[in-house]
Amino acid sequence: MAIDTEKPFEEWVRLEQPRLGTRVVAASDEFFGAKERLIDAHEPVFIPGQYDDHGKWMDGWETRRRRTPGHDWCVVKLGLPGIVHGLDIDTRHFTGNYPPHASIDGAVSDQDLPAENEWRELHSRIELGPNAHHYLPVRQAPAVTHVRLNIFPDGGVARLRIYGEIRPDWRRFAADEAIDLFALEHGGRALRASDEHFGSMHHLNLPGRGVNMGDGWETARRRGPGHDWVVLKLGHPGILEQVEIDTAHFKGNYPDRASLQAALVTKGAHDTDRVVRESHRWPLLLPESKLGPDEIHVFSDLEKPGPVSHVRLSIYPDGGVSRLRLFGRLSK
């Protein structure tokens, strides 16, 4: 059954992003709409009067009308394997051509297209509606490399969003190796932010530098007292040794100052509300420090709170940060 909520799965990473290497590798049919559109990073659009050689152009994956038994399907290979916690089957702009039902499977495979016996159900068959988000929680699922969307019997889906967490193999890192413990590919993720009006907190640990001002975390202009903040979870507990705060592309809207607090959360780590409530009391990692526009700021003279699993970034009073890198060594 779909969740009716305005902002579901906000603490999880979107695993279907093409920039992470995720690809749509196979589909039973894509006569009216290319399978690659299913994971397009942009929001779906509707263009009245636009047609191609196959008929009305739709911004999504759409199969032809099925005249034989069976159902259609589409397979997504994740660029970074992860545990799926939530899904959004988005039928926006599909009204008389949406599938009436759908289900989701997951698999672990080294191949582009897993064998049929490798698939396991992530979410059972549900009823879909036209022109709507369908938010589905996934509980107690193992990490997967592939996700399959099944639609019954045919039709069009604008987007499939896959929310979860990345689980790297920590055995491949040396004990004394300094790595970015907040990096997306290392399982780091943002949990909660005071504001995300202009840019998502989940941009902070994406690979590479930001491509433009929209590719970072940016808050609205603060008109009252206080300051903005974001609470983060490292992919693995560690001892932090160096911090990089990158304000790339933020020139007239970068934060004036920033500070960092950090803690090793051992109890209630799965209770995000509790973690966020307590974060303002965490020990200091980086005192309030001056920032500048469009620049990578490197801080190596950090406080020593010991091993930490979570970090709170505070910006004063508001503004935009493109990337945050938290380099350290794994703790046991």
pLDDT for residue 268 is more than 50: yes
What is the DSSP track for 52-66? Answer: ETTEE--SSEEPPPP
Q: How far apart are CA 252 and CA 309, in angstroms?
A: 33
pLDDT for residue 43 is more than 80: yes
pTM comes to 0.91
Which burial class, exposed, middle or buried, applies to 239 when counting CB atoms under 10 A from its CB (0-12, 13-18, 19+)?
Answer: middle
Instruction: Compute the average pLDDT of residues 156-173.
Output: 93
Helix (H) or strand (E) holding 275: helix 272-278
Q: What is the pLDDT of residue 1?
A: 44
Q: What is the pLDDT of residue 4?
A: 45
What's at 204, amino acid-wise?
Answer: L
Within its chain, how far is the Cα of 200 from the centroid? 10
Instruction: Compute the average pLDDT of residues 242-270.
Output: 96
Q: What is the pLDDT of residue 6?
A: 62
pLDDT for residue 3 is more than 50: no
Q: What is the pLDDT of residue 211?
A: 96
Categorize the per-residue pLDDT at 170 as very low, low, confident or very high, splitting at 50, 70 and 90.
confident
pLDDT for residue 195 is more than 90: yes
Q: What is the pLDDT of residue 273?
A: 95
How far lies 239's CA from each of 11, 66, 181, 262, 267, in Å? 23, 57, 9, 10, 19
% pLDDT > 90, the chain: 89
pLDDT for residue 111 is more than 80: yes
Q: What is the pLDDT of residue 222?
A: 96
Highest mean pLDDT among 50-54, 115-119, 265-269: 115-119
Q: What is the pLDDT of residue 299?
A: 98
Tokens matching residue 43: 């929001």
Decide which of 278 and 1 is more confident.
Answer: 278
Q: How far apart are CA 93 and CA 181, in angstroms?
A: 40
